Structure 1
């Protein structure tokens, strides 16, 4: 049987938890956090570290746990109760980090923390009739939102450069969906030929690498 994703490990045990993290895509979207923070005139590195940690927990763990709970797209054997527990704890800790940063830096971050905590179940469990679970919803929630949140955490405000970067992340995330959706359908519906998947997944790997390298370049530039 074809693996459910190009980054999925062999099913069972600890490997299921690694697969659950969607590591390439998590790294991709955490790069948006770094880009947003590095647009600030002066980067507060501890705040950036906390912002990355919060998004790692809420998105990398919590959102992906609920996504797996909703239909088992990765075919893991992780019990439902464990997935729910991972989601609740990770999102709760991420929200606590966000509130702490807000109280220390700027209260403008608190509404974004509330919005982010709500986005995780609304998007991944397809609440509200699934109206947020669209390509545009994905791009705004996991593309624009990390950029804006990281910038606001650094500056306490929102300026044109952050909005333009959010638009960049939205468009790039839409491109990701245009590639990943057909690739996912091919893997999970039938046995694809190498010519079907290779162009799509090679492009996804290259875009992941390009986004991560851009974020690292900004860190080196601002350090």
Structure 2
């Protein structure tokens, strides 16, 4: 998720529809995964591919914890989160503040958000027969999180570091688990809690790294200075000196959640 940077007046407003003039203050791309290439590149960038995969991995982690895994329900859960987070949440985030500086119109962003969120809800309702009605309130919570976090509703109460970690860390684990309609017992519940805590901590770490990276890319005009070492040698201090370790860590960490989830799910597939 990206931080909104400016306010929009409505889906058809000048702020919502126009690409902000010029390059970011740093002259750098607004994200390490941002692409050029016109409309196609804009839509790929909008999906935040590394971060979307990161959070989809949590759905797989939750599903892998149940004794009997229904694969059709798992794929429906994964598709639902891909629509809700990968498309709807990111489209609203881009409309709200244009953090990625795409040229996608406000109407297109809202259309993508509404259709994707509706599709995610439909997928959730579609698996209720298997999952049971315990999933129903989670579908409603998901809608509130997508709208409340990305549009900064409720006075921005959800748009915090903790809100990010819980909404995009613990929540997908919980949904991936509950969608499977498990029989609730103490060991399974404890496993779910530990997995949710791990996802929350991991998402909080993502936030700790991505926030300063966003500031350097989108708000800082210049970084200039010098590093002096104990032996008297020096090295230039510039934007890349600060940004490269952050981006490098985020690139590597974005592969952890989906690959761990894939390993667990492949094991479950082989043991079925």
Q: Which range, TM-score by smaller chain?
A: over 0.9
In the aligned structure 1, how far is the partner of 2:67 from the partner of 2:79?
A: 22
In the aligned structure 1, how far is the partner of 2:140 from the partner of 2:127?
A: 13
In the aligned structure 1, how far is the partner of 2:37 from the partner of 2:213?
A: 20
2:31 equivalent in structure 1:
5
2:210 equivalent in structure 1:
180
Shift of residue 206 of structure 1? Answer: 1.1
1:171 equivalent in structure 2:
201
Gaps of 5+ in 1: none
Checking the alignment, whether the CA contact within 8 Å between 1:54 and 1:93 is kept in structure 2 is yes
Shift of residue 220 of structure 1? Answer: 1.4
Gaps of 5+ in 2: 1-26, 224-238
- Moved runs in structure 1, 4+ residues, more than 3 A? none
TM-score, with normalisation over the residues of structure 2?
A: 0.80
2:59 equivalent in structure 1:
33
TM-score, with normalisation over the residues of structure 1?
A: 0.97
Checking the alignment, whether the CA contact within 8 Å between 2:74 and 2:176 is kept in structure 1 is yes
Which of 242, 245, 248 is the equivalent residue of 1:199?
Answer: 245
Which protein shows a greater Rg? 2
Which of 100, 123, 130 is the equivalent residue of 2:156?
Answer: 130
In the aligned structure 1, how far is the partner of 2:124 from the partner of 2:257?
A: 24
- The secondary structure found in structure 1 opposite 2:129 is helix
Deviations 1:129-159 (A, max 9, x none): 0011001000110100000011001134661
Checking the alignment, whether the CA contact within 8 Å between 2:130 and 2:180 is kept in structure 1 is no
In the aligned structure 1, how far is the partner of 2:61 from the partner of 2:252?
A: 18
Checking the alignment, whether the CA contact within 8 Å between 1:108 and 1:156 is kept in structure 2 is no
Structure 1 vs Structure 2 CA RMSD: 1.2
In the aligned structure 2, how far is the partner of 1:2 from the partner of 1:31?
A: 29
Greater mean alpha carbon deviation, residues 156-165 or residues 69-78: 156-165
In the aligned structure 2, how far is the partner of 1:156 from the partner of 1:38?
A: 11
Residues 58-207 of structure 1 mapped to structure 2, 5 A cutoff: 58-156=84-182, 159-190=189-220, 193-207=239-253
2:266 equivalent in structure 1:
220
In the aligned structure 2, how far is the partner of 1:201 from the partner of 1:73?
A: 17
Structure 1 or 2: more helix by fraction:
1
Would you say how many aligned residue pairs link Structure 1 and Structure 2? 223
Shift of residue 163 of structure 1? Answer: 1.2
- The secondary structure found in structure 1 opposite 2:127 is helix
